[in-house]
Amino acid sequence: MQTAEIRRRWLDYFGERGHTVVPSASLVSDDPTLLFTVAGMVPFIPYLTGLVPAPYPRATSVQKCIRTLDIEEVGKTPRHGTFFQMNGNFSFGDYFKKEAIEFAWELLTGSEQDGFYGFSPDDLWVTIYEDDDDAFRFWKDTAGLPDERIQRLGMDTNYWSTGLPGPAGPCSEIFFDRGPAYGVDGGPATDDDRYVEIWNLVFMQYLRGEGRGKNDFEILGELPRKNIDTGMGLERVAFLKQGVENMYEIDQVRPVLDRAAELSGKRYGADHDDDVRMRVIADHVRSSLMLMADGVTPSNEGRGYILRRLLRRSVRAMRLLGVDTATFPELFPASRDAMKAAYPEVDTDYARIGRLAYGEEETFLKTLESGTSILDVAVEKVRTSGGKKLEGDVAFQLHDTFGFPIDLTMEMAEEAGLTVDRSAFETLMAQQRNRAKADARAKKTLLADLSVYSDFRAKGETVFTGYEFLETDGTVLGIIVGGESVQRARVGDIADVILTETSLYAESGGQEADAGRIVGEGFELEVLDVQRPVKGLVSHKVEVTKGEVGVGDAATSIVDAAWRRGATQAHSATHIIHAALREVLGPQAHQAGSYNKAGYMRLDFNWNQALSPATRTEIEELSNNAIRNNLEVETKVMPLTEAKALGAMALFGEKYGETVRVVEIGGPWSRELCAGTHVSRSSEIGLINVVSEASVGSSNRRIESLVGMDAFRDLATERAIVSRLSTELKTPREQLPERIAGLMASLKEAEKKIAAYQSAALGERIPGLADAAVRRGGLTSVIENLGTVASADDVRTLSLGVRGRLGNEPAIVAFFADVAEKPIVIVATNDGARALGVRAGSMVSIAAGVLGGGGGGKDDIAQGGGTSVAAIPEAADALRAALPA
């Protein structure tokens, strides 16, 4: 049974039983505590927890998920996958435990001919929470399983909660027994790979209180509305139904594995280590494909870093298979073709995805060359010192800074006859993970604070009127101060105020929140920020500047008209520049993020090379022509499917409901899904002045522009500068570039002559400095402060000249100087001095330490520096004191 067929049967089964079929949400999660959608229930959390009223009593979905906590286990077990699909059915206060068990058993064990999955009941085991007698009874009544195949397990495995106060409850898991060839007998309680978990049923029936972790907490009572959250692993069922050994061999994954085998000349199944590498490649390529299809781009932080890590692990695995050249142009199309039946967007958007993937691979292959050079230096240093082990901090630096995989470091060190201090490396990695966990805990606490909004959201949604009005009358629905819901806020308080209606735009879609005020009888609030903490609710962060405000008070939201005008200009300018980019560069120049506020906008777009001055000018002219042509800006509200059919562009990573707002500028020329505020005609933008275009990653560029009066003021400033230059240089404006180029050339020539005169003058000092040499204990020394010198090269030349002047007698020359307001020291020794144990590198270390810096070099000449010119006399004394008596 193909994976797509398993998916279809699931949705058909539950759809026919009254469940609303909900499309998969993006892999990019709305939850601020999560980088990705990590489970099928994540999009439904607001409904399951009661934070937002559920729009339907029961639902079903096949949700795309990404988990990276077990990334090191990928390829080693039959079930660990980074990207996976979770089939889920959900009840929001509708049916409960009995019906959930009946649904699961019927779909699993019903015949394939009748549209079910056809598992034999003899192969299935069930676990329940140790005290859940209801579940035990329902399983007996529904499935007729013998008692020994319904195992009671503890809270660690069969009790669900978020780890925070809120919904909780027992769960029941269904396992498939692969048979004695795969492990020991005894059921899921043995925790053996023989038993594969395929379905988990969570019965949310209790309210848990505060506690420590997953096991230690108090049950406060039953929930008023009990919920069902179940999940069946699509890939796990697929590998069982397709009769293969693991999830990497199913129809949606195996083609990449086979292509990796062909490219490497290895045979899958011949060597355990190579098999693991091929499975890693198959998993990571598919996971990367799906992440990029949802708008994630490689970067050095957040989601982009996870994607980059997956891509680089794939490159590393191919290298360990013996392939050093680019392979993504072969591997990614294989994954695309395997996944496009279920997710057509991976095919329709493949030009962008492929360009991102291929560019990242090319960059990392160059990084591997750089990392290899650094590793070679470190290895040589260890070998020179007689050591046998590469320090853990070197391995960690290669991993953390260059993305150099530890396995690759260990492999290359072993080739050089060295080991790697893996223990020290793991310690540093653990410290990094702890820092990340601490950050995640802080974010989790932030999510917990969102529970304060649940009572407000239960009363309805905030109505946004700002598209039509700058002022709106409403009522204060709630007030939050210091994370606590309160009845009143007074002068000086910083509070979050929720209104029933507001004209103030909440930050979203790249547009900054509106500036403005909220006023009422006896109070005035300055609006500091506007956000949507939960779906359907607008919260205004305010400072109470007059009187006091209370829950239930009438309140009028007032938008700063000048700010809104600038914001609409900037947001519409963003759409215009996006359309101009695509017209000039082609449709692959797709928006990857934006930010706009009054007078300013920036837009990130998928492109991997700098724009030429001519191209940048063309984009700017095209944008301003669109303004001059006074194009109509029209907004329409329509179903998402209709908007997509119309060709409206969506921003990758943004979430859209079933009904969307489409903004058109000049009809189809610019047609995008957008909830922001816009001008009514393009001429209202006034002017677009592109001020910069630069890289923000290996495959993304950023274009920035000033808009409206800010654009005019910037151009006026440039005009004033040009006018002043023209006057002072007595040169017409159009001839300024040639005039300035001539002046620069003359200046460089003068600087060369001055440098030559200075060098000659320094050379004339050699005899005098040599004559000032001090002879003590068989060693001649010249230690002097030269004062201000143009360059370190001049100091080096002078030191070598004086050393040569001193002849063959043991001698050391040490010159200090002020170069560009920074102290430097250069020490030169001859053969006689080195025979006495006086080495330049050691002397520089002593002097540089006093100067507040460091340095090094060879035994005959070395250079150092520091931070304090004033410390030069003290450093010279320290060096003299270090010479042999």
Residue list, annotated binding site? 571, 575, 674, 678
Give the sheet arrangement for strand 591-597, strand by strand.
591-597, 600-606, 700-707, 688-695
List Cβ neighbours of 869 (8 Å cut-off, separation of 6 or more). Answer: 818, 821, 822, 823
172 in helix, strand or coil?
A: strand
Q: Which amino acid is at 248?
A: Y
Using only C-alpha atoms, the chain has a radius of gyration, in whole angstroms, of 35
Q: Shortest CA distance to 13 belongs to which of 85, 97, 106, 100?
A: 106
Whose tokens are 């307001």? That residue is: 821
CA distance 472 to 119: 60
Alpha-carbon span 642 to 348, nearest angstrom: 18
Taking Cα atoms as reference points, which of 865, 862, 861 lies closest to residue 875?
Answer: 865
Q: Which helix (H) or strand (E) holds 85?
A: strand 83-92
Q: How far apart are CA 558 and CA 560, in angstroms?
A: 7
Check if the beta carbon of residue 19 is closer than 8 Å to that of residue 59. Answer: yes
The annotated binding site for Zn(2+) is made up of 571, 575, 674, 678
Helices (H) and strands (E) in the chain, counts: 26, 34
Q: For residues 61 and 15, give the distance between their C-alpha atoms in angstroms, rounded to a whole number.
A: 10
Structural tokens at position 768: 């005098």
CA dist., res. 156 & res. 134, Å (int): 19
- Give the DSSP H or E segment for 670: strand 670-673
Q: Is 390 helix (H, G, I), strand (E, B) or coil?
A: strand
Tell me the sheet residues that pair with 498: 478, 539
Torsion, Cα 494 500 501 502, to 10 degrees, reads 10
Strand partners, 499: 476
Question: Which two three-digit tokens encode residue 454?
Answer: 């649940």
Quick one: tokens of 229?
């959250």
Helix (H, G, I), strand (E, B) or coil at 654: coil
With 0-12 / 13-18 / 19 or more C-beta atoms within 10 angstroms meaning exposed / middle / buried, residue 804 is middle
Three-class SS state of 263: helix
Cα distances (angstroms) measured from residue 845 to each of 562, 727, 779, 853, 867: 61, 53, 20, 9, 14
Q: What CA–CA distance (Å, rounded) separates 854 from 163? A: 50
Write down the residue that tokens 């691979």 correspond to.
361
For residue 521, the number of C-alpha atoms closer than 13 Å in the C-beta half-sphere is: 6
CA distances from 209 to 92, 162, 446 (A): 21, 11, 17
Q: How many residues does the chain have?
A: 885
Listed residue (440, 445, 481, 461) closest to 51, CA to CA: 461
Residue type, 487: Q
Is the separation of the CB atoms in 489 and 476 below 8 Å?
Answer: no
Q: Between vectors from CA 832 to CA 826 and to CA 838, what angle results, nearest 5°?
A: 50
Q: Are the C-beta atoms of residues 216 and 163 closer than 8 Å to each other?
A: no
From CA 81, how far away is CA 74, in angstroms rounded?
6
Backbone angles phi, psi at 492, to 5 degrees: 95, -20
> Which is nearest to 606 in space by CA: 668, 647, 649, 570?
649
Residue 494: how many other CB atoms lie within 10 Å: 12
